[in-house]
A and B are shown apart, each in its own frame.
Chain A
Amino acid sequence: MPAERKNLSDNRGNTLGIFFFQVMLKILGRTCTCSFVWVIAFFYAVFDRTARRAARPYLESRFPNSSRMQAWWHFYRLIVCQGQVMILAHWLRTGHQVPIREEHPERLRELLLAKDHGLILLISHVGCWQAALTYLEIYQRPVNLLIQVNTNASVARMFSGKHFKIVDNSSPFGGLLECIAAIERGEIVCIMGDRQAGETESAVEMQLLERSIMIPLSPWLLAARCQCAIIPIFTLMRGLARSIDFYFAEPINIDYDLPVKPTASDFEPFVKQYALELEKIAVSFPYQIFHYDTSSTSHPIQEIDNG
């Protein structure tokens, strides 16, 4: 079972602060509110040492050789971006829409049309992943979202009762049997691909920007055993929450049909394809990767829920 972790978003603002932003969003709209995030984020960038420590491993690998001042600037930009993503998520959650541009949607469409078999969409802690997933409704396929419900309360709320089904990975067998059933029904299963849900979750070590990260094995095993494709998807915010780019990476098909349990090394070549896609995103959109290293902080934190 994944260990319960504290969510970094719990540290982001208090009820009054959130209410303030909600009112501001209603009166001034998202562009002005997103601009104002620069002011608020400045205080977090100065005083939130826990977040700074947690962000450091990613930022150091993305921006090696940065001076102290440059490192602070990168962290500030990261916090600003995270705040703006939260604004965008709230904007979408309250029934508003923003333009969405799809890149390579045919990769998903072809798989959905080609056979009556489900597939796995591999999501990452990139951009406004939760909010943008609502867009998947247009594909007219039920979407199952495998998440840790206790740390993603707002995500669970966002998707409940819609075209989505939440599968709790703290349920027996990590919700994986529900995922098999969903794939066999021809549905879409969304799984977070870039971070272990807990230390006990089976994972494979992979290099991202020359830094080791642990990639959970469950989506890869499911794909191999259900003989379905994995499509990594990335949802990137453009401008001041102006629009969202929805990027579908090349589908990954896992060739494994031996009657014995595969080892982590069997999946390495496939996981590497995903890591390379993630790396490309980190290069192009460095402040939209929300990889917080829990081991470097005195209080374990995890950024999952910025929706």
Chain B
Amino acid sequence: MDEATVKFRQEFKQKLISWLQLEDKQPEDIKDDEALFGTGLGLDSLDAVEIVIALKREYGIPQNAVDQKREIFTTFATLSDFVQNYPKNHGAN
């Protein structure tokens, strides 16, 4: 894993904790390959809504782009990689 990815994931974990108000979690508590929903981090459908809205607000990723790639919600790594690699010309801010 390159340095940029490590840095991005660390920052993204912090953002996830902030968006979802996971007050009892620290970035190091979120394992890269841990499932986000159900078992693992234990997020629910309301958290999915928050993530989708936050991705649009913070990274300019439209909801339909997420909708077409539901597999990105599998683990933290899949979600983070999707966001990191989302084409910049789609209006990231």
Interface residues of A (CB under 8 A from B): 172-178, 180-181, 184, 200, 202, 217-218, 221-222, 225, 259-261, 263
Contact = CB atoms under 8 A, between A and B. Distances in A.
Interface residues of B, number: 23
Nearest to B44: A202
Contacts of A178: 67
A94 to B, nearest CB: 36
Nearest to B50: A261
B35 interface: no
A260 B48 contact: no
A221 B44 CA distance: 13
A161 B53 CA distance: 30
Nearest to B49: A176
B88 interface: no
Interface in B33-64: 37, 44-50, 52-54, 57-58, 63-64
Contact of A260 (B21, B37, B58, B70): B21
Given A176-B49, A180-B63, A225-B50, 17 more contacts: A172-B73, A173-B37, A173-B45, A173-B73, A176-B45, A177-B67, A178-B67, A180-B52, A181-B64, A181-B67, A217-B46, A218-B49, A221-B49, A259-B18, A260-B19, A261-B19, A261-B50
5 contacts: A172-B73, A175-B45, A221-B49, A225-B53, A261-B19
Main secondary structure of the interface of A (DSSP, over half): helix
A177 to B, nearest CB: 6
Interface of B: 18-21, 37, 44-50, 52-54, 57-58, 63-64, 66-67, 70, 73
Contacts of B45: 173-176, 218
